[in-house]
Amino acid sequence: MSEPRQEPVPGTHHEPGGDAPPASDAPPQETIHVDRFEAAWMRIAAAVLAIFFISILVSAFASGFQVPGVYQRIDPTKLYEPGSPFADPGLRELAPGKYEAYIRAQIWSFTPNEIRIPAGSEVTFYTTSQDVQHGIKIQGTNINMMILPGQVSTLKAKFDTPGTYDFVCHEYCGQLHHTMYGQLIVEAEQVAAQ
């Protein structure tokens, strides 16, 4: 299918040799002089950017770093209402070795403040705050996120090595902020083979 030919609109037709300057009047091409040391620093800056970009790719795809996602919005005044997963937070088993952990933060504690899972488990964490801004960092893992009132944040981690993983609030939330901590205990008993 061919487009219908456009007729030139009267008065807008560009006449050859009109206002465009003749090509012979164009200034001669000039090259920009870049000092030797300046050029070296430009190459170093480009190399540093490339290294940073590669390190982002390696951390995202090889080391499994994740950016905490906004899972949903939630009314912080309704966390205790029936049906809210934060009314009775804690660990839920979805399948052998697969868990979800709901953690509610409030001044100045986590609920629950102790979580036990068998080694080899994969846990998806969901967190929200009842009052002010908190944070959670689980030692030795990629779990490190803000806990905000009105927002449910989520991150996932796999726990292969038995041991005790402390978690703390890392966002100053008032006088007893330093008392806001808990423990995730990975028990030596392995997840049953599937």
Footprint of Cu ion (CB under 5 A): 134, 169, 173, 177, 180
Nearer to Cu ion, 98 or 181 (CB): 181
C-alpha closest to that of 93 among 116, 74, 72:
116
Q: Answer whether 142's CB lies under 8 Å from 64's CB.
A: yes
Tell me the C-alpha distance between 169 and 81, whole Å: 25
**Cβ at position 33, least distance to Cu ion in Å:** 56
What is the chain's alpha carbon radius of gyration, rounded to the nearest angstrom?
30
**Cβ at position 189, least distance to Cu ion in Å:** 32
**Cβ at position 42, least distance to Cu ion in Å:** 44
Tell me the C-alpha distance between 155 and 162, whole Å: 20
Nearer to Cu ion, 91 or 168 (CB): 168
Nearer to Cu ion, 155 or 180 (CB): 180
Tell me the C-alpha distance between 100 and 92, whole Å: 5
DSSP 61: I
**Cβ at position 169, least distance to Cu ion in Å:** 3
Q: Tell me, what amino acid is at 97? A: G
Nearer to Cu ion, 64 or 174 (CB): 174
